[in-house]
């Protein structure tokens, strides 16, 4: 049975050891970084840089603790993410959100290059065939996957599997474009964006959220440039009148996340990835969206494990036991004590991700919690 180490978010004594950074430090000591990483080894600390308005990301102070734990054993860490908007702009976003060399104590780099298409094709599975894994993540020998656990309009739940799948894969590949990247998970077929003019309220949020300026309006008609579109689905997600559709199959999407995660993991030797899930600032939506709504449940704590399936199952179980917060989207949706909050927010069969990941051999849903407290 896989061990999942846990530190609560509660802090009831006035000393550093009781703080969340202090507890993370103890967790990393307890798990023993030298069991996974070696002196002089380059280690990617994978996180999500967020967006200009989505400030509820993993805080730089926690990334710094991970970097310090790696440096303590002589490893050579760097902090990284794949390109979500234009690369130069994304580095500015990271800096604006407090993630830079000075704050985290290690270089901050883009995993798939400034243009977001430096990636290598890796065997994924029956659904995706192959997928474009970011070159840095493909080549680095070891990785700490830091995942901000939260809701997600498409995936329902977003944690380590999604961080590996969407975050370890490029939006686009140098030769085969979006069809080899994240877009292959988000949409099916040719992924043609369909606009329903009758429903459209001309709010222009789709145009404004598009990272590639692939949407414009001419005489109040939407013009979509399918040649440059990454099929990231962000425009569809922000459209509140449901005027935009990218063809999709939600079950396929969940299973393809597990496939892509397996492809990313397959580029590492066994035992060279450590997972840290932050059950903090659990907002309804992804860190890439233009805003971050208030959390739908209280901060719960930090989990660490070498088993991605176990840590995801443990995280989901903790979220299931949490209470919905007042004055949040959970409250607006009428969710009550005992409800599955994330399912109530987005209506997605999110557990499919972890079931499929176990079926593909990524780990075990059976786990034992080892608590610091
Ligand atoms: S977000 Fe939706 S409603 Fe707003 S302009 Fe775009 S298609 Fe129309
Ligand atoms: S899916 Fe929408 S938001 Fe994403 S790149 Fe294409 S047009 Fe832009």
Summarised one tens digit per residue, pLDDT across range 196-255 is 999 999 999 999 999 899 999 999 999 999 999 999 888 998 899 999 999 989 999 999
**Cβ of residue 215 lying under 6 Å from some atom of ligand 1:** no
pLDDT of residue 141: 98
The CA-based angle 160-274-43, given to 5 degrees, is 110
Helix or strand or coil: residue 304? Answer: strand
Tokens 């430096």 belong to 118
Between the alpha carbon of residue 308 and those of residues 81, 311, 356, the distances in Å are 18, 5, 12
Domain locations in the chain as residue ranges? 2-183+249-371, 189-245
| Mean pLDDT value across residues 109-130 | 95
**Cβ of residue 217 lying under 6 Å from some atom of ligand 1:** no
Question: Residue 288 — very low, low, confident or very high, per pLDDT cuts 50/70/90?
Answer: confident
pLDDT of residue 363: 98
pLDDT of residue 289: 85
Residue 291 pLDDT > 90: no
| Mean pLDDT value across residues 23-27 | 97
**Range in 138-142, 150-154, 325-329 with the lowest mean pLDDT:** 150-154
**Cβ of residue 244 lying under 6 Å from some atom of ligand 1:** yes
CA of 363 to the centre of ligand 1 (A): 41
| Mean pLDDT value across residues 245-268 | 95
Query: What is the domain class of 189-245 according to CATH?
Result: alpha beta
Please give the mean pLDDT across all residues of the chain.
95
- Report the nearest-CA residue for atom 8 of ligand 1: 200
**CA distance from start to end of the chain:** 21
* Structural domain 2-183+249-371, CATH architecture: 3-Layer(aba) Sandwich (3.40)
Residue 257 pLDDT > 80: yes
Beta partners for 250?
none
| Mean pLDDT value across residues 173-184 | 91
**Cβ of residue 31 lying under 6 Å from some atom of ligand 2:** no
pLDDT of residue 372: 86
CA of 193 to the centre of ligand 2 (A): 8
> What pTM was computed for the model?
0.95
CA of 6 to the centre of ligand 1 (A): 42
Residue 373 pLDDT > 70: no
Residue 28 pLDDT > 80: yes
| Mean pLDDT value across residues 316-335 | 96
CA of 183 to the centre of ligand 2 (A): 10
> Which ligand has its closest atom nearest to the C-alpha of 200?
1
Helix or strand or coil: residue 145? Answer: strand
| Mean pLDDT value across residues 343-362 | 95
Residue 153 pLDDT > 90: no
- Residue 178 burial by Cβ neighbours in a 10 Å radius (0-12, 13-18, 19+): buried
């Amino acid at each position: 049975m896989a061990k999942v180490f846990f530190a609560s978010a509660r802090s009831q004594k006035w000393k550093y050891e009781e703080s969340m950074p202090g507890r993370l430090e103890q967790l990393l000591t307890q798990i023993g970084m030298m069991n996974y990483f070696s002196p002089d080894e380059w280690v990617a600390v994978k996180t999500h840089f967020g967006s200009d308005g989505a400030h509820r990301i993993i805080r730089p102070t926690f990334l710094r603790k991970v970097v310090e734990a790696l440096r303590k054993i002589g490893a050579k860490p760097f902090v990284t993410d794949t390109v979500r908007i234009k690369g130069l702009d994304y580095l500015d976003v990271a800096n604006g959100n407090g993630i830079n060399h000075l704050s985290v104590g290690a270089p901050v780099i883009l995993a798939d290059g400034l243009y977001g298409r430096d990636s290598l094709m890796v065997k994924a599975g029956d659904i995706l065939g192959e997928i474009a894994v970011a070159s840095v993540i493909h080549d680095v020998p070891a990785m700490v996957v830091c995942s901000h656990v939260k809701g997600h309009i498409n995936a329902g739940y977003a944690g380590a599997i999604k961080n590996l799948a969407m975050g370890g894969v490029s939006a686009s590949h140098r030769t085969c474009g979006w069809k080899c990247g994240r877009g292959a998970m988000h949409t099916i077929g040719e992924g043609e964006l369909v606009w329903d003019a009758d429903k459209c309220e001309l709010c222009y949020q789709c145009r404004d959220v598009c990272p590639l300026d692939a949407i414009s309006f001419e005489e109040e008609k939407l013009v979509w440039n399918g040649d440059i579109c990454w099929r990231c689905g962000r425009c569809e997600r922000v459209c509140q009148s449901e005027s935009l559709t990218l063809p999709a199959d939600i079950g396929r999407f969940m299973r393809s996340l597990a496939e892509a995660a397996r492809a990313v993991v397959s580029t590492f030797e066994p035992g060279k990835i450590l997972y840290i899930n932050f059950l903090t600032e659990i907002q309804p939506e992804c860190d890439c969206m233009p805003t971050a709504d208030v959390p739908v449940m209280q901060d719960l704590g930090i989990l660490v494990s070498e088993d991605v399936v176990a840590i995801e199952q443990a995280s989901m179980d903790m979220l299931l036991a949490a209470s919905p917060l007042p004055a949040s989207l959970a409250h607006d949706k009428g969710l009550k004590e005992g409800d599955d909050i994330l399912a109530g927010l987005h209506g997605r069969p999110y557990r499919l991700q972890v079931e499929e990941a176990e079926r593909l051999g990524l780990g075990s849903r059976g786990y034992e919690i080892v608590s610091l407290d």
